[in-house]
Amino acid sequence: MTSSIKAKQLKTAFFSALLVLAVAYPILGLKLNIVGIKLEVHGASAPVLWTIFACAIGMFFWQLFRSQLGNAWDAVPKVPGVPSSATNFLTLPSTQRWFVLALVVVALVWPFFGSRGAVDIATLILIYVMLGLGLNIVVGLAGLLDLGYVGFYAVGAYSYALLSHYYGFGFWLCLPIAGLMAALFGFLLGFPVLRLRGDYLAIVTLGFGEIIRILLRNLTELTGGPNGISNIDKPTLFGLSFERKAAEGLQTFHEYFGIAYNSIYKVIFLYLVALLLVLVALFVINRLLRMPIGRAWEALREDEIACRALGMNPTVIKLSAFTLGACFAGFAGSFFAARQGLITPESFTFLESATILAIVVLGGLGSQLGVILAAIVMILLPELMRNFSEYRMLLFGALMVFMMIWRPQGFLPMQRPHLELKQ
C-alpha cells in the first residue's frame, strides 16, 4: 500500500473522529440546567463522556482499517440466508391470504381466554391495523405520501364525539357519519392538491393535520378546547349497554341475559367491534383491489405518465384512493373516541401520523399482512419495553432510518400478480 493512500485514509479517519465528537459532545456531553432564573452549563456524567470519547476513537480506527476489515469480512464464510424459495412462498398473495385467515381465526377465539389488559391492548392494535390498512390504500397502493392522516382520524373521532355530546346519537349511527365526514374532508383537501406532484402533497397534508389540531384546540366553545370531550358513550349491542347501570330507556347486557355484571364483557365486546371493523376494511379493500379502480391505483403508482397515455384520469384515481383512505381513518377515529370515552386534540399529533406511516412502511408498502404484523410489533413492543419507554421514540426513529437502508420493501412485501415466461 502506498504512503499517499495511507495518508489519505489517516486524514479521513481523523476527520470522521472529529465529526463524531462535534455531533455528540455538545448535545450529549453538555447539559443546560436551570438554576434559579439563570441557565448554567454543566458537563454530563463521566460514563457519558467516556462513551462519546470511545465512539470517536472507535470511528477513527474503523475508518483507518476499513478496507482491510472489509476484506477480512468477505473472507469469512457466509451463514446461509433464508432461501429465496421461502421468501418467494411467503410473499405470494395466496399464502398471505391464508396467513390473514389464520390470524383472523386466532383473533376471534383468544380474547375469551386472554386477560383483561391483553384484550385491551389488542383492541388498540386493531385500531392501528385499521388505520394502517386505510393509509396503505393511499401510500402503499396509490403511492401518495400522506403525512396528515391523523387529521382524518381526528375528524372521525370528533364527529362521533360531537354528535353524541350535542345530539345524543349512538355509536352505530355515527360510525358511517364519521366515515363520510372524514371522506368529505379528504375529498375537499385532495381536490386542489392531488393535481400537484407528490412532494407537495406530503407537505400540504402535513399542514392540514396541524390545522385540524390547532382548530380543535382553539374552537373552545364547540370542541372543548385543550380539555377535549369526555364521557363519550360506548357502543351498544342492539341497544344493550355494557355499563353496570343502563341509561334511561336502555337495558344492560348482563340483565338481559341474566348473568352477573363483569367489566370484562365490555372489554371483549369493544375488541370484537374493532375486529369486525378491521374485517370489513380487509374485505372491502380486497374486493376493490380486484376492481378496475384498484388496478388503476397500482398502475398510477408505478408510472403516472404511462397511465395518462392510456387515457386514465390521474386526478380522479388519486382522489378516490385519498377519499377512501380518509374514510377508513374516520371509522377508526369514531371507534377510538368510543373506546377512550375521552378525546383531546393532543391525541392527534404528527407523531401519530408518523407511527401509522411507519406501520405501513415497515410492513411492506401495499401488503396487508405486512401492515397487520407491523401494527402488532409497533404497538406491542413499546408495551413490553416499559422500562425503555423513554428511549422508545429514539429507537423508533433509528429503526425507520435503518429499515429504509436495509430493507426498504418492508418485513413482508406482497408480490404483484405477474406471469413469467419460462424459457
Partner 1 sequence: MPDIYHFLQQLVNGLTIGSTYALIAIGYTMVYGIIGMINFAHGEVYMIGSYIAFLVIAGLTMMGLDSLPIILIAAFAATIIVASAYGYSIERVAYRPLRGSNRLIPLISAIGMSIFLQNEVLLAQNSKDKAIPNLIPGNFVFGESTMNGVVISYMQVLIFVVTFLVMAGLTVFISRSRLGRACRACAEDIKMANLLGINTNNIIALTFVIGATLAAVAAVLLGMQYGVINPNLGFLAGIKAFTAAVLGGIGSIPGAMLGGLVLGVAEAFGADIFGDQYKDVVAFSLLVLVLLFRPTGILGRPEVEKV
Residue of 197, 386, 418, 422 that binds partner 1 (CB under 8 A): 197
Q: Does 398 bind partner 1 (CB under 8 A)?
A: yes
Residues in the chain: 423
β-bridge pairing 38-43 and 30-35 = antiparallel
Q: Give the DSSP letter string of 179-228.
A: HHHHHHHHHHHHHHHTTS-HHHHHHHHHHHHHHHHHHHHH-HHHH-GGG-
Q: Give the Cα separation of 334 and 179 in Å (integer).
A: 8
Q: Does 214 bind partner 1 (CB under 8 A)?
A: yes
Residue of 31, 97, 244, 416 that binds partner 1 (CB under 8 A): 31
Residue of 14, 99, 261, 350 that binds partner 1 (CB under 8 A): 350
Supply the Cα-derived Rg of the chain in whole angstroms. 26
Q: 216 or 277, CB closer to partner 1?
A: 216
Q: Give the Cα separation of 232 and 19 in Å (integer).
A: 53
Smallest gap from residue 104 Cβ to partner 1 (A): 29
Residue of 192, 249, 258, 311 that binds partner 1 (CB under 8 A): 192
Binding segment toward partner 1, per CB under 8 A, in 175-183, 187-195, 287-295, 415-423: 187-195
Residue of 5, 57, 109, 211 that binds partner 1 (CB under 8 A): 211
- Residue 197 cell numbers, joined: 406532484
State the residue for C-alpha cell 430493507.
407
Whether 248 and 233 have beta carbons less than 8 Å apart is answered as: no
Residue of 184, 222, 380, 399 that binds partner 1 (CB under 8 A): 399
Q: Give the Cα separation of 102 and 398 in Å (integer).
A: 32
Would you call 29 helix, strand, or coil by DSSP? helix
Site string for partner 1, 44-83 (x = CB under 8 A): x---------------------------------------
Would you call 409 helix, strand, or coil by DSSP? coil
Q: Which residues pair with 143 in a beta bridge?
A: none
Find the helix packing angle between 314-340 and 292-302, rounded to 10°.
110
Smallest gap from residue 219 Cβ to partner 1 (A): 10
Tell me, by CB under 8 A, how many residues bind partner 1. 62
Q: Give the Cα separation of 277 and 6 in Å (integer).
A: 63
Q: Does 224 bind partner 1 (CB under 8 A)?
A: no
Element (H, E) at 328: helix 314-340
State the residue for C-alpha cell 386477560.
115
Q: Which of residues 104-143 bind partner 1 (CB under 8 A)?
A: 139, 143
Q: 210 or 233, CB closer to partner 1?
A: 210
| Distance in Å from the first CA to the final CA of the chain | 48
Q: Which of residues 353-372 bind partner 1 (CB under 8 A)?
A: 354, 357-358, 361, 365
Site string for partner 1, 258-297 (x = CB under 8 A): ----------------------------------------
The residues that touch partner 1, with contacts defined as CB under 8 A, are 19, 22-23, 26-28, 30-32, 34, 38-41, 44, 139, 143, 145, 147, 192-193, 195-200, 202-204, 206-208, 210-211, 214-215, 217-218, 305, 350-351, 354, 357-358, 361, 365, 390-391, 393-394, 396-405, 408
